[in-house]
Chain A
Amino acid sequence: MAENQVPGQELDWLNDSVVVSDAEANQNVIVGKLPAVVQKVLGWGYGNSTWPLGFGIACCAIEMMAASCSKYDIARFGSEAVRMSPRQADLMIVAGTVNEKMAVVVRRLYDQMAEPKFVIAMGACASNGGPYWDTYNVVDGVHKVVPVDVYVPGCPPRPEALLQALMEIQEMLKTGKRGLITKG
């Protein structure tokens, strides 16, 4: 049964409307649905413990700190364990302006992170260069260096916006919109 499934549909199982036919019911229901169950459990686990890499670049990093402190408390979303080593981190929040000298470092840190890994481009600078887009030294958009999952607009974005981005990632994981292996 598992091989009949189109990858994107695996999680239709989660919808209430799925009707189990007699033929399916005759088979071993639990084993047949194992991939979906595994993905659901993994998505739940990774989604609720995406540990960010402790890595701030510019002004937006201050708002990132604000999000992890008491008022906004990123711990509510399971991301308070800021890892200083890329090898232990799941989530890279690029908070600030990436210039040509820094782009190399960002890519290197990204490569050192283990799968599954996610990238949030926080702020106008990381999204498209922001106020500095037409200068000689600024990379306009971190997507030129690493694949980005969620963009957060704002200069700087409010901490709530960052939390929303985090929830987007959790949503992606839980619904299977985004696999655990990064493509591209």
Chain B
Amino acid sequence: MEQAKELLVNMGPQHPSTHGVLRLMVKLDGETVTWCEPDIGYLHRCFEKLSEFKTYPQVIPFTDRTDYLAAITNELCFVEGTEKLFGDAIVVPERAQYIRVLLAEFQRICSHLLALGAMAMDIGAITPFLYAWRDREKMYSLFERITGGRMLYNYLRIGGVRNDLPAGILGTPTDGEDKADQTIWGFINYFDSYVWPQWEALVTDNRIFQWRTQDVGKLSAANAIAYGASGAVLRGSGVKFDLRKNLPNAIYDRFEFDIPVGKAGGDCFDRWIVRAEEMRQSSRIVKQALAWLAENPGETMGKVPRILKPPKGEIYHRIEGARGEVSCYIVSDGGTNPYKVKWRSPCFVHLQLMPLICPGQKIADVIAILGSIDIVLGEVDR
């Protein structure tokens, strides 16, 4: 009797840990993965085509919806790209620049919290996910006061931001835990003194978690570069590259922060550590921005024409988003609509690492790997 050597297993599109609607086809020999192939397109929403029919400001809400966990950084990428297209015609006020950085970094903390929580949940620890949401809700209420939206904001504008920060949202450096959902200082202090140590103690130092993630899903630095990885995946493999330092957009060159890198050869645990550490660095940036914003009131919207018609030309703009390098390529034909918008999303690039990393791993580790590269399907398919 002939025995089948390999078993083809379909994970998704409805699967608890595919972070949305990803379908993974996995071939198994016993419990070991021999082949893995992602199938995408279940969330293709025609973002790029749609933006050809929208004016520049109308595209901004759609950029939110590509990566719905880190909306501000996506908006930032498109808005800055368009401003670049205008050249010197649009000057963004300094205060708006600081607000942008403040929110982008605040968003990064928010996004990483969910990434870590979801990864822990995929591996089997449900509690961290609930803790992540406890803190995200606090951040959401702050975001809501600033921008009006909990999750998708449409807050940045070409030439500035929509409105100034509401009175009293900054708080004072002495604000403690009780103000965590009322002032940004309150949250940051709460984060530094309570949230981060708790994650450290609860998950990072947890032996079971370490066993599940260490030496799993190794990605060498050479492969990471060759496959175009960025963000925490690239830095987890030990490559010290962060666009905020290497090619600063906005005003990132004015802030002091470090770039954490993985040390153990790019396994899942490295990527975890890098994300966790990045949250702390983001909180450092937020504090610096807060200090500046408290002392420098002013305009938050530069002078822009009523109807935005960028001059003919094309631009490629890249920034460091929460998941990696977000970039957009905008072609303008001088009209009110972009002629073409091309979005480069880090998750799409990271997903193609799956066929590289997964073979040789156990089936249960595929979930850990998927959690550690932190994909958002909205951004993969767009």
Contact = CB atoms under 8 A, between A and B. Distances in A.
Given A66-B137, A69-B130, A102 B49 contact: no
Nearest to B131: A70
B43 A56 contact: no
B151 A156 contact: yes
Interface string B70-91: 0000000000000000000000
A135 B45 contact: yes
Interface in A101-149: 101-102, 105, 109, 131-132, 135-138
A54 B65 CA distance: 21
B84 to A, nearest CB: 26
Contacts of A65: 133
A96 interface: yes
Contact of A102 (B13, B16, B46, B50): B13
Given A59-B65, A62-B69, A131-B61, A137 B134 contact: no
Contact of B150 (A63, A86, A132): A63
A97 B133 CA distance: 23
Interface string A40-66: 000000000000011111110111011
Given A54-B16, A99-B42, A131 B62 contact: yes
B46 A132 contact: yes
Interface in B21-64: 21, 41-46, 49-50, 61-62
A59 B68 contact: yes
A105 to B, nearest CB: 5
A109 B14 contact: yes
Contacts of A31: none
Nearest to A156: B151
A69 B42 contact: no
B171 interface: no
B137 A71 contact: yes
Given A102-B21, A135-B46, A58 B133 contact: no
Contacts of B20: 56-58, 61
Interface string A157-169: 0100000000000
Contacts of A29: none
A34 interface: no
Contacts of A63: 150-151
Contacts of A2: none
A14 interface: no
Contacts of B324: none
Nearest to A99: B44
Q: Which of B41, B43, B130 has the most CB of A within 10 A?
A: B43
A102 B42 CA distance: 5
A151 to B, nearest CB: 19
Contact of A59 (B41, B136, B378): B378
A58 B13 CA distance: 12
A59 B14 CA distance: 16
B45 A137 contact: yes
A56 B378 CA distance: 11
Contacts of B378: 58-59
Q: Which of A59, A70, A155 has the most CB of B within 10 A?
A: A59
Contacts of A132: 45-46, 50
B129 interface: yes
Contacts of B16: 54, 84
A99 B45 contact: yes
A18 to B, nearest CB: 45
Contacts of A66: 133, 136-137, 140
Nearest to B46: A135
B51 to A, nearest CB: 11
B137 A136 contact: no
Contact of B44 (A56, A62, A71, A101): A101
A97 B66 CA distance: 12
B140 to A, nearest CB: 8
Interface string B208-233: 00000000000000000000000000
B318 to A, nearest CB: 24
A66 B69 CA distance: 12
Given A59-B378, A61-B20, A138-B45, 8 more contacts: A54-B14, A59-B152, A69-B129, A69-B133, A101-B41, A102-B13, A109-B14, A132-B50
15 contacts: A54-B16, A58-B45, A58-B65, A58-B378, A59-B65, A63-B151, A66-B133, A66-B140, A69-B129, A69-B137, A70-B130, A70-B133, A99-B44, A99-B45, A135-B45
